[in-house]
Copies of this chain bind each other. A is one copy, B any other.
Amino acid sequence: MTGTSLTLQALPGIPDIEPGCDLAAELLRAAARAGAAFADGDVLVVAQKIVSKAEGRYLDLLQVRPSARAVELAARTGKDPRFVEAVLGESRAVIRAARNVLITRHRLGYVMANAGIDRSNIHHSGGADRVLLLPRDPDASARSLREAIAERTGARVAVIVSDSFGRPWRVGTVNVALGIAGLPGLLDLRGGKDRHGRTLETTQIALADAVAAAAGIAMGEAAESTPAVLVRGIHCSAPEGDGQALIRPEAEDLFQ
């Protein structure tokens, strides 16, 4: 992955995604419109939001009964108790709660705000107050898109399902990789040498997170957001990994 030139191309024009929709087909159509033919080694970065929508990962807050814990956390955070209950339902543990802040460990291990549950970008329909949960298993979602694209085009593209994360000591969000297929999540340099022969101190590079972050720039944000980006030019021979490998094990968490 070195001395390289990389290109990132947003794939605009993806329509509103409905539950059960053939997301791979929509992505192929978007690529065709953008004049991009998928090729072996390409990386397709897809926003979590459209994957969750295709998987119908909606929850109607009108159906949610907040627990006592949710009511208490809602008071502490200033959030809707039903929303907090939805977050707790998707979480293993609360990491931090404060005014406007609810950081949990998602059932899949991600430490993130609101267990990744999104209230924006959701239609209100039939009196429902729907929120969107993360995909059931973002690694499986990535694998399934990779397989569907390979079947239909013959191209072995890697797929990253990405979402935006805050950072405890830095302002603003960057995209990270929740699910990965066909790409190493991490490049392990442990024991490697620098160009002067010294053993490297930086040991592991979060390649898939960097690719997700890069794609986030091309996605844009807000009203004009494009939820899929094709990344070309990543060459690396490290073994493929999954999104779980990017999660620091709880036993190594110094900030619990």
Could you tell me the distance between the alpha carbons of A201 and B78 in the complex, rounded to whole angstroms? 14
Interface residues of A in 1-52 (CB under 8 A from B): 1-10, 12
A205-220 vs B, Cβ < 8 Å mask (1 yes, 0 no):
1110111011011111
Count contacts on A: residues with CB < 8 A to the other chain.
77
Name the CB-closest residue of B to A119: B201
A113-142 vs B, Cβ < 8 Å mask (1 yes, 0 no):
000001111110000000000000000000
Interface residues of A in 45-74 (CB under 8 A from B): none
Which of A10, A202, A246 gathers most chain B CB within 10 Å? Answer: A202
Q: Is A151 an interface residue (CB 8 A)?
A: no
Given contacts A195-B121, A210-B174, contact A168 B217 (CB under 8 A): no
Name the CB-closest residue of B to A197: B223
A246 CB to closest chain B CB, in angstroms?
A: 5
- Tell me the number of copies of this protein: 2
Given contacts A2-B226, A194-B121, A255-B96, contact A174 B217 (CB under 8 A): no
A53 CB to closest chain B CB, in angstroms?
A: 12
Contacts of A118 in B (CB 8 A): 201
Contacts of A84 in B (CB 8 A): none
Could you tell me the distance between the alpha carbons of A169 and B169 in the complex, rounded to whole angstroms? 12
A80-118 vs B, Cβ < 8 Å mask (1 yes, 0 no):
000000000000000010100101000000110000001
Contacts of A224 in B (CB 8 A): 2-3, 195
